[in-house]
Amino acid sequence: MRHLLSTKELSRDDAIALLDVAEDMAAVQEREMKKLPTLRGRTVVNLFFEDSTRTRISFEAAAKRLSADVINFSAKGSSVSKGESLKDTAQTLQAMGADGVVIRHHASGAPQTLAMSGWIDAGVVNAGDGTHEHPTQALLDAFTIRRRLHGATSRGRGLDGVHVVIVGDILHSRVARSNVWLLTTLGATVELVAPPTLLPVDTTAWPARVGYDLDASLAGGPDVVMMLRIQAERMHAAFFPNSREYARTWGLDDARFDRLPPTTMVMHPGPMNRGLEIAARAADSPQSTVREQVANGVSVRMAALYLLLSGERGDAA
Amino acid sequence: MTERFLITGATLATGGRADLLLSDGVIAEVGRIADAAGATVVDADGLVALPGLVDLHTHLREPGYEQSETVLTGTQAAAAGGFTAVFAMANTSPVADTAGVVEQEASLGRAAGYATVQPIGAVTVGLKGEQLAELGAMARSRANVRVFSDDGFCVSDPLLMRRALEYVKAFDGVIAQHAQEPRLTQGAQMNEGALSGELGLVGWPAVAEESIIARDVLLAEHVGSRLHVCHVSTAGSVEVIRWAKARGIDVTAEVTPHHLLLTEDLVSSYDPRFKVNPPLRRAEDVEALRLALADGTIDIVATDHAPHPVEAKESEWDAAANGMVGLESALAVVHAAVVENGLLDWADVARVLSAAPASIGRLAGHGQPLERGSAAEVALYDPAAASDFSLDRLAGRSVNSPYLGRRLPGRVVATFHGGYATYLDGAVRPADEIARHASARLEGTRG
């Protein structure tokens, strides 16, 4: 793999291979000595044009546990906020000898632009671009589902027959997009539930069913319910009347949670708005995978960095 | 005595072959010309002779954005594309909203000499959509403005649009509307549809264009005014305009070369060369636009030549500027989009790229058929010179062309403006030579 830009491009075999490497990485995380020497002497830059402490520290932990040198480059308070272009920033990192760049950017497509521009030789990992994709989040979600379902026998498996319902702001969610592609590539069926205003105007090309009625979808007894974060700014742009109406209609409240089969996983990419899209009882229940998702995130990101940066560079994805 | 040109064996748009003698700024003779002593001979065997092209929608960027283009470099690009007249959009800095600015632009154009530069006046002061600009003063100025546009912005206030439509009737003006409902396109980055949803780019819905056109044709009908619609980009807009014309409403419409050839799929690369406003649309829209141009629903092709410096396009998609250069490639793109498939013949091309835009813009001395006594405004085009469009074909200051590396079916070989060659043998003639011709011609018209 040369870059990890989206899950749409990922084949089933590549995705399963990455998840299997992540299983190996997870096994390392259970040892007392958590560090591997694999990327010693390699430099990974976390290039964050958007605030995201959670994703950044997850990548930082992943790189450090592979013994890479880590440079954190935050756009805030740097030359970027003074108008430096993506190109100049990239060339600066190139001059510093970055082997891998983990980029979080507010513009959809920025990681692809960086990877294809010729400004930089480094492998590029998309850590979330605009409202486009967030591939490592989807991979860690898939990893989490697979582990919960298959435990120690996870290796080599896809998610065939798994029924996943994703609920919330699909329109603006890069997590939803990456999950739609990845989970269906792995054999799962995906259902999207949202207010009509928070769905893209045309989803006919998406391999997912789309609906507006959360109760109807939950009545199907899904294996996984994934709740997405509602951003505060959506409430002021006429996407829905107010947070109370949203929570009542599309939130995973106690009553809805109680109707779910006890085997249904409750997922959330974090950070959660408790009381809005998810009630505390659901978030804190044994069915919730929220903390596992965070732990698995490090393993999955270790796997991604390992596949991109170990060995000879330059072979095609 | 100025240089005379004898163009031999050209294929006329109307069919048939002829020689043309250009002398003293006019076409002195058409036919078989045996005797043209002292004339420079241009062998046009296999070339199509068209009346000099007229672009109703050009951004020359001067004054204010000279790093992108100037009147000189923009008209050099025009010459390279076979254009002999360009209408310069008003979104300069300062905005062309007073007689002073439009007169300055026109005079820069006359001094450069590559093409007639006909300024377009802003509809509202500073393009802000709040208060009418001095439309009458610009119309009465030496720039003789007849086309008014806030292009780049929509005159979205319906009352202001109504007043503008009414007011310009006093001097046979026309409002050229950039049809884009601003609230429906906040932050818009590409055509709204399945692809925008997948790419995570904010959508620019077709309805934002169509609803403004629908409103404007009704306003034009109500007040009995002339309306021109800039860069029509959707199949739905075509339907609205077709309906309006059938109803007898005085509306004309333009389409850009890029909306006739390119589709939104190109955005998947996130390559900002393909970022333009209105955005590239679906293949169905391209097809509808081609048919509309063929059946006359859309009257003209206009380039929306929009130069930008390299740094404005060397970035992530969201940060990149909207716009493409288009003068140099327009004729070859029209050839590829609607001539090769037989929708238009060369006489139609002469209409949509020369006669009709000159007529909509009330521009004298352009768009005339290649006949004895017409102004010597001529473009020669080689329809058999298929090649990959390359940087050396661009003659303006900016290189933000979406066609670089794309195969186009032909190329402009020569352009004559006012009887002198502005572009010859695939090269723009030197600026000092053209300036001398232009000043001699000005002397001639004064004396």
DSSP H helical segments within B141-282, as ranges? Answer: 158-167, 194-199, 206-223, 235-246, 257-261
More confident residue, A312 or B146: B146
Cβ-based neighbours of A294, under 8 Å, separated by 6 or more: A54, A58, A270
Tell which residue, B167, B83, B156, has the closest CA to residue B121: B167
> Taking CB atoms and an 8 Å cutoff, what residues of chain A touch B265?
none
pLDDT at residue number A80: 59
CATH architecture type of domain B52-360:
Alpha-Beta Barrel (3.20)
Distance between CA atoms of A43 and A45, rounded to whole angstroms?
7
CATH architecture type of domain B5-48+375-446:
Roll (2.30)
Query: Does A249 lie in the same domain as A116?
Result: no
Q: How far is CA B40 from CA B374, B430, B435, in A?
A: 19, 17, 19
CB contact under 8 A, A105 and B311: no
**A155-187 exposure pattern, b = at least 16 Cβ within 10 A, e = fewer:** eeebbeebbbbbbbbbbbbbbbbbbbbbbbbbe
What is the per-residue pLDDT across B175-226, written as a single tens digit (0 to 9) for each?
A: 999 999 999 999 999 999 999 999 999 999 999 999 999 999 999 999 999 9
* H or E element at residue B174: strand B174-177
Residue B311 has, within 13 A of its CA and on its CB side, a CA count of: 7
Distance between CA atoms of B53 and A280, rounded to whole angstroms?
69
Class of residue B80 by CB neighbours under 10 A (exposed 0-12, middle 13-18, buried 19+): buried
Query: Does A100 lie in the same domain as A37?
Result: yes
Question: Å from B239 to nearest chain A CA?
Answer: 22
Domain coverage including residue A50: 12-132+295-309
Transcribe A10-67 into DSSP letters: --HHHHHHHHHHHHHHHHHHTSSS----TTTT-EEEEEESS--HHHHHHHHHHHHHTT
Q: Which of B192, B205, B270 sits opposite A113 (nearest CB)?
A: B270
Query: Does A285 lie in the same domain as A145?
Result: yes
- Closest-approach residue (CA) in chain A for B190: A108
CB contact under 8 A, A108 and B270: yes
Q: Examine the residue annotation and report whether B304 is marked as an active-site residue of this protein.
A: yes
Quick one: pLDDT band at residue A82, thresholds 50, 70, 90? Answer: low
Mean pLDDT calculated for residue range B95-108 = 98
Query: Does A265 lie in the same domain as A150?
Result: yes
What is the per-residue pLDDT across B390-435, written as a single tens digit (0 to 9) for each?
A: 999 999 999 999 999 999 999 999 999 999 999 999 899 999 999 9
Query: Does A275 lie in the same domain as A304?
Result: no
Distance between CA atoms of B293 and B341, rounded to whole angstroms?
13
Mean pLDDT calculated for residue range A100-128 = 95
Query: Does A179 lie in the same domain as A89?
Result: no
Instruction: Return the domain boundaries, chain B.
Output: 5-48+375-446, 52-360
Task: Tell me if A264 is assigned to some domain.
Answer: yes
Measured at the CA of B130, the angle between CA B126 and CA B134, to 5 degrees, comes to 60
> Taking CB atoms and an 8 Å cutoff, what residues of chain A touch B318?
106-108, 110, 130
pLDDT at residue number B445: 66
Distance between CA atoms of B101 and A158, rounded to whole angstroms?
67
Task: Tell me if A1 is assigned to some domain.
Answer: no
CB contact under 8 A, B317 and A109: yes
Mean pLDDT over each residue of chain A, to the nearest integer? 93
Quick one: pLDDT band at residue A73, thresholds 50, 70, 90? Answer: confident
Task: Tell me if A317 is assigned to some domain.
Answer: no
Torsion from C-alpha of B102, B106, B112, B117, nearest 10 degrees: 110
- Report CA B232 to chain centroid distance, whole Å: 13
Domain with residue A42: its CATH number is 3.40.50.1370
- Strands of A43-48's sheet, edge to edge? A69-74, A43-48, A100-105, A123-129
Quick one: pLDDT band at residue A317, thresholds 50, 70, 90? Answer: very low
Q: Which of A116, A132, A204 sits opposite B200 (nearest CB)?
A: A132
Contact at 8 Å (CB) between B196 and A205?
A: no
A50 and chain B in contact, CB less than 8 A? no
pLDDT at residue number A1: 85
- Classify the phi-psi angles of B257: left when phi > 0, otherwise alpha if psi is within -120 to 50, otherwise beta: alpha
Query: Does A259 lie in the same domain as A145?
Result: yes
Mean pLDDT over each residue of chain B, to the nearest integer? 97
Q: How far is CA B16 from CA A130, B19, B45, B172, in A?
A: 57, 10, 12, 37
Residue B97 has, within 13 A of its CA and on its CB side, a CA count of: 19
What is the per-residue pLDDT across B120-138, written as a single tens digit (0 to 9) for each?
A: 999 999 999 999 999 999 9
Query: Does A124 lie in the same domain as A35?
Result: yes
- Please state the domain count of chain A: 2
Distance between CA atoms of B257 and B402, rounded to whole angstroms?
11
pLDDT at residue number A315: 43
What is the per-residue pLDDT across A133-183, written as a single tens digit (0 to 9) for each?
A: 999 999 999 999 999 999 999 999 999 999 999 999 999 999 999 999 999
Tell which residue, A253, A312, A8, A306, has the closest CA to residue B268: A8
Check pLDDT > 70 for residue B268: yes
Selected catalytic residue, list B97, B304, B348, B382: B304
Task: Tell me if A7 is assigned to some domain.
Answer: no
A108 and chain B in contact, CB less than 8 A? yes
A174 and chain B in contact, CB less than 8 A? yes
Quick one: pLDDT band at residue A314, thresholds 50, 70, 90? Answer: very low
pLDDT at residue number A189: 98
Task: Tell me if A37 is assigned to some domain.
Answer: yes
Distance between CA atoms of A303 and A17, rounded to whole angstroms?
9
Query: Does A305 lie in the same domain as A237?
Result: no
Question: Å from B212 to nearest chain A CA?
Answer: 20
A313 marked among binding-site residues: no
Mean pLDDT calculated for residue range B18-22 = 97
B417 marked among binding-site residues: no
Task: Tell me if A6 is assigned to some domain.
Answer: no
Contact at 8 Å (CB) between B423 and B411?
A: no
Query: Does A279 lie in the same domain as A171?
Result: yes
